[in-house]
Structure formats: C-alpha cells, structure tokens
Structure 1
Amino acid sequence: MENKSNDLIKKIQSSIPDFSKGQKRIANFIINHYDKAAFMTAAKLGEEVGVSESTVVRFANEIGFDGYPKLQKVLKELIKSKLTSVQRMEVSSNRISEDNILKSVLQADMEKIKLTLEELDINTFNEVVESILNARKIYILGVRSSAPLASFLGFYFNLIFDNVRLVHTTSVSEMFEQIIHASKDDVIIGISFPRYSKRTISALKFGKSRGATVISITDSKESPLAHCSDHSLIARSDMASFVDSLVAPLSVINALIVAIGMRRKQQVYDTFENLEKIWEEYQVYEKYDEENESKIRKED
C-alpha cells in the first residue's frame, strides 16, 4: 500500500500496449505530467490530449478506479510526496489567485479543516486519547516543518503530564538515542506530512520494534507513517506554494490536547493555579490595569 501511487504509474506504463489510441494519449500525459493531471478535471484533461471527457472517465475505469475523482486522488498523493519545492511552486501557482492570495489561502485552509472533520474517525481519536492517558512515558517526534506542531503538542502535554519527552534531533542516530528506552508501556507520537521525513519514519519503526504504541499524525492512510503506526490521526494538508499548509493538523492537535485536558481536569487546574502564582511573581505576562489604562486615555 505504501507505494500505491508509484504502482499506478507502473500499471499505466505496463498497460499502454493494450490501450486505444486515445487512451494511450491520456496515459502518456499522466506519466509525463502527473503533477498537472492531478489538478485537471476530466474535461480539461481530455481537451489537453485531444479526447472526449467520457474517454478520460472510461480510462479511469479501465485502470481500476470507480470514477475519475478516485484516479485524481491517487495522483495528488503522488505529487505531494514526490514534488520538489520548486515544482510545488509551479503547480500551486496555477491554483492560487494572485489577485487575492489572502482569500485563496484561507479558503483552502478552511476546506482542509472541513474535509478533516468529515473524514477523521472518532473511534480512532478516542483510542489515541486512551493510549496517551495510560502511557508510562510519551515521546513526541516532529522535524522540519512539523517541528512547530510537535513543540506545540509538547508544550501543552508538559502542563498535563510529567512523563513527556519532546525529541529534539538533527540526525537519525540522535533520535534513536532519545527513544532508546521506549518499551511496550510507552507511546510514541510521530508527526509528518509530505514530503515525509525519513528520520521520523525510521524512529517510529524503531519504536514499534521496541513494543511501544505508535501514534502518527499525518495526512493519509497511505502515508508511510500510517503504515508503521498502531493508530493514525488523519488531517488534511496541502501545498500553499512552497509552504506546507498545516492548519488542519494543528486543529486536530488542539482537539487532542483539549480531550486529554478534560480527562485530567483537576491536574490541569492545579498546574495552572501554581503557574499563575509563578507568572505573577516573575512578571511573565504584561498585566492589563484597567485603572491605569483609563488614566492614560484621559491624559491623551
């Protein structure tokens, strides 16, 4: 399953001799320009190669898909993991309106949250919550663009638990060194989105071999992280030019923190009660003084 997208290209290539002339044109275009085909409608792809829309739909059926959208979905999975940053910019430039980039990007992010909400399995989410609550130790891994997500999760988990380790690393060996003592009573949470981090995948496989419960937060059940995990929280991500759109993953992480916090209400309450005293003593936060603010306004 891990190479389902790559298998598609191989399947198309091996089937070319059996295709009709029109189907061969579609096949060659997809093989050579799958990055463009993934974002074309059936009608647009047909227009591009000189065949009818119905021929494109029949082509999708011919290679084993129940409709053209299913073929498109696999092509999108392929480009997310394979495209370089430069190629991502080229593809996304055709999808983002330069007249209103703010609106285009925010609307795309809203759509990803909506799709994530529709597709995320609530039973899996609840199983993840239980696994984390029962863990002896919790390891959190996330590198490159996923590092801020891992840090955010680690920050709040450290307020709830006293058994959290946020794995900081610059190499695979360092990552292994920090999870070397993981065992069957522990949980390892790995976060990665296309292009997937080899370091994170290797660490999750290592953790699983040690008997730890492995949880991934990733974008697809076809993700290599999902394949080496006991539980996967699937959150839609996408390309916004060269930038990874991680709004939906952050929302899922927020939900995870809140769900666990609700189960540990008293501990969280006690922690924040103590922290408020510390923050007050060391003046961590700017204090809003309504009386002084009123005086300043009068003086102005």
Structure 2
Amino acid sequence: MSDSPAARLQVLFEGRRLTPTQRRIAHCMVRAADEVPFLSSVELAELAGVSQPSVTRFAVALGFDGYPALRRHLRETVPPATGTTESEPNEYQQAVAGEMENLRRLAEVLADPAPVERAAALLAASRPLPVLGLRAAASQAFGFSYFAAKVHPDVRLLDEGGTMLEDRIDAAVRAGASALLCFALPRHPREVVDALAHARARGLSVVTVADSAFAPVAAHTDLLLPAAVGTGLAFDTACGPMLLGRVLLEAMCDHLPDAQARLEEFDGKAAARGLFVD
C-alpha cells in the first residue's frame, strides 16, 4: 500500500461505522491530507462544510479524546508529501476498490455453499414467502421480490413499516407461511428488529441477509447470511448484499421444480405483450 498522507488517512477510517456527516469529514481530510494535521477543528469544519461539534464527535468516533488528540496523532503518523508523481486513487476509486474487496470476501465465504442451500430450502418451501426490508434495505427486498416472483408462486414484499407491519406478518402466517426472508442493512431500524422478534414468536423461521454476523438482527434470526457493505462514500453501498440475494435466489430455484416452466411462461407472455424492447 502507498505510504502517502491520503493512504495513511484512509487506513485510519477503514472499517469504522461513521455517520454520513462523519464520512463527509473523512473524505474532506483525505482530499486535503497534506494540510489536515495543521488545521484547527474550526478550520476543518469550515473546509468540510460541517459544524465544529461535528468535528469533535468525529474524533471521538475514531477513538480519540477529542480533536486535539486526533491532530497530534496525524502529525506523528501521517508523513508529509514526498513529491512523487505516482497518482493516488481518488475517493471514488477507493470506494470501488473497497467493494471489490467485499465481493472477494463474499466469494471466500461462498466456498461453503451449505448455509445458502439450507436457507434456500427453507424459503422455497414457504407459501407464501414474506420478504422484509425497510429504509436502506428496502431496495434489496424489492429487487429480490421482483425476481423471486417469477419462480415462486406467492412472494409478499414487506418494504413499509408502521403499525400494519405485524398485521401483514400475521396475515402471511395465517396463509401458511413457514419462513421469512429479511434484508437488514445499516443503520438498522428498531422496527426491523421488532418485526423479526414478532415473526419468530409466530413460528416463522427467519433467514436474514445482513452486513455482519454481529448485526442487531442476529439475535432474532435463525440463519444469518453476512455480506459486508461498502463504507467508502457518504452513504453505504450494498453490492455484496445484493449479489448474495441473487445467489440465494439461484439456490432457491433448485428447490422449486416448476421454476423453469414459470420462467418460460413469463417470457412467452412478455413477448406477446411486447413488454421489452430487446
């Protein structure tokens, strides 16, 4: 790895669970790596476009007593620029590289397909199949449900919270559901944790795709499949959880004997209706 100021700062931030405001500060520091060790908290706040207390909270989130301690650390550990002409990856390239590393780790985990295959068997057997995902995870739940509905006879998307969420879980149980799939991504809504606790209390087996095996939903999950999210930008990127959802769906097809017939039927109807231009 490069020993440049920007690279040293990037290492300091990697793996930290930072708020969007704190990530904004981190990105600003990486862009101005040469001058950051000499900025006051007020100057850094102005440079990042945040409040001075936000800079202080950011330093504490990194494990320092306050911003002065963080600045001392930077002066001691971040080397001055060497004048090298080698170009450093910018923050966008670093975010892509971080996701590539997440996918590499996911590939290593999938070397043992047994957990995915167990989860697929549970979900394929559930009629109906409720799929839960709120806030940041809503798009993951929607994407999975869209494709799963092409091979599974009854998929029920639960992507809205509120007082009716438990009612909809109850309705799925009354209709014969035996399992629930949840996508859980940070920041984890309390409502998801409560919904999973309710689902298990009603007898459902819960399968969860989450960013970590230590996510808050783990205590209310029968089978958790982890896939890390990217934290290199102000908002998380979820290539890993999305891909893991597709892998899970692929495995489900092996437990749905009429999956291929359903796909062919859909393709025939789509062609007749002219749904797609390609």
TM-score by length of 2: 0.68
Question: In structure 2, how many angstroms separate the alpha carbons of the residues matched to 1:138 and 1:93?
Answer: 44
For the pair shown, which has the larger CA radius of gyration, 1 or 2?
1
Deviation track 1:140-166 (CA, whole Å, cap 9, x = no partner) reads: 111122111101110111111112110
**Shift in CA distance, 106/37, structure 1 to aligned 2, threshold 3 Å:** closer
**Shift in CA distance, 236/94, structure 1 to aligned 2, threshold 3 Å:** farther
Alpha-carbon deviation of 1:37? Answer: 10
1:148 to 139, 144, 155: 139
Instruction: Tell me which residue corresponds to 2:249.
Output: 257
AA at the equivalent of 2:12:
M
- For structure 2, list consecutive stretches of 5 or more residues without a partner in the other structure: 1-7, 32-86
Asked if 1:139 is matched to 2:130, the reply is yes
Instruction: Tell me which residue corresponds to 2:212.
Output: 220
Instruction: Tell me which residue corresponds to 1:104.
Output: 94
Alpha-carbon deviation of 1:99? Answer: 5.7
2:198 to 171, 185, 206: 206
1:84 to 13, 19, 33: 19
Instruction: Tell me which residue corresponds to 2:166.
Output: 176
Question: In structure 1, how many angstroms separate the alpha carbons of the residues matched to 2:261 and 2:211?
Answer: 35
Question: In structure 2, how many angstroms separate the alpha carbons of the residues matched to 1:278 and 1:130?
Answer: 28
Contact residue 93 and residue 241 of structure 1 kept, 8 A:
no
Larger fraction in helix:
1
Contact residue 188 and residue 213 of structure 1 kept, 8 A:
yes
Question: In structure 1, how many angstroms separate the alpha carbons of the residues matched to 2:28 and 2:221?
Answer: 34
Question: In structure 1, how many angstroms separate the alpha carbons of the residues matched to 2:135 and 2:245?
Answer: 17
Question: In structure 2, how many angstroms separate the alpha carbons of the residues matched to 1:240 and 1:267?
Answer: 42
Instruction: Tell me which residue corresponds to 1:16.
Output: none
Deviation track 1:15-60 (CA, whole Å, cap 9, x = no partner) reads: xxxxxxxxxxxxxxxxxxxxx999439xxxxxxxxxxxxxxxxxxx
Segment of structure 1 superposing worse, 178-187 or 267-276: 178-187
SS of the aligned residue for 2:192 comes to helix
Contact residue 188 and residue 214 of structure 1 kept, 8 A:
yes
Identity among equivalent positions (%) equals 20
Deviation track 1:126-180 (CA, whole Å, cap 9, x = no partner) reads: 2101111222321111112211110111011111111211013142x12112112
Alpha-carbon deviation of 1:88? Answer: 2.6
The RMSD of aligned alpha carbons is 2.8
Instruction: Tell me which residue corresponds to 1:116.
Output: 106
Instruction: Tell me which residue corresponds to 1:126.
Output: 117
1:191 to 183, 200, 204: 183
Segment of structure 1 superposing worse, 122-131 or 198-207: 122-131
Instruction: Tell me which residue corresponds to 2:268.
Output: 277
SS of the aligned residue for 1:238 comes to coil
**Shift in CA distance, 268/147, structure 1 to aligned 2, threshold 3 Å:** same
AA at the equivalent of 1:234:
P
AA at the equivalent of 1:260:
M
If asked which structure has higher relative contact order (CA below 8 Å, sep 6+), I would say: 2
Instruction: Tell me which residue corresponds to 1:40.
Output: 12
